[in-house]
Amino acid sequence: MTSSKTIVLRSSDGATFEVDEAVALHSLMIKHRIETGGADSTTIDVPEVTGNTLSKVIEYCKKHVEAPNSDDLKSFDTDFVKVDQAVLCHLAKASYYMNIKGLLDLSSKTIADMFKGKTVEQIRETFHIKNDFTPEEEEELRKENSWNLFV
């Protein structure tokens, strides 16, 4: 009877997305909201996530819920994270807040791999990390780590 029940998800910028309940439940955060929200919870706000990101997240959930055993799931995942850094970070953040383990694993592993084998300067450039050490602190760090990091 309720097999085709749909849920509406609303992003931080007001965009709405209608999805099958089964797909929405892939997010444990949404699952919890539905279970504790009573019969009227057909629209769920997701203020931590923008519309663009939310639509990508929904795409991920759809694929994993509707075809979890398909052969191309791996290649779907690989292609899914071939996006620029900002999008990747947004995806990681969304999967964290919406509690979607598979996507969290995928996105954070992809970001983690971007750190490996890089020098300090390379990492700083890749992610544009702001340096908040004072010059004295920086000097101290360089001295402590000179033999392995700054050679």
**Binding residues vs other proteins (CB under 8 A):** 85-86, 89-90, 92-93, 96, 104, 108-109, 111-112, 115-120, 123-124, 127-133, 141-142, 145, 147-149, 151
- Long-range CB contact pairs, 133-138, < 8 A, 24+: none
| Minimum distance of other proteins from residue 69's CB (angstroms) | 25
| Minimum distance of other proteins from residue 4's CB (angstroms) | 34
129: left (phi over 0), alpha (psi -120 to 50) or beta: beta
| Minimum distance of other proteins from residue 16's CB (angstroms) | 23
The dihedrals phi and psi of 71, each to the nearest 5 degrees, come to -65, -25
d(CA 29, CA 99): 6
**Nearer CB in complex with other proteins: 41/108:** 108
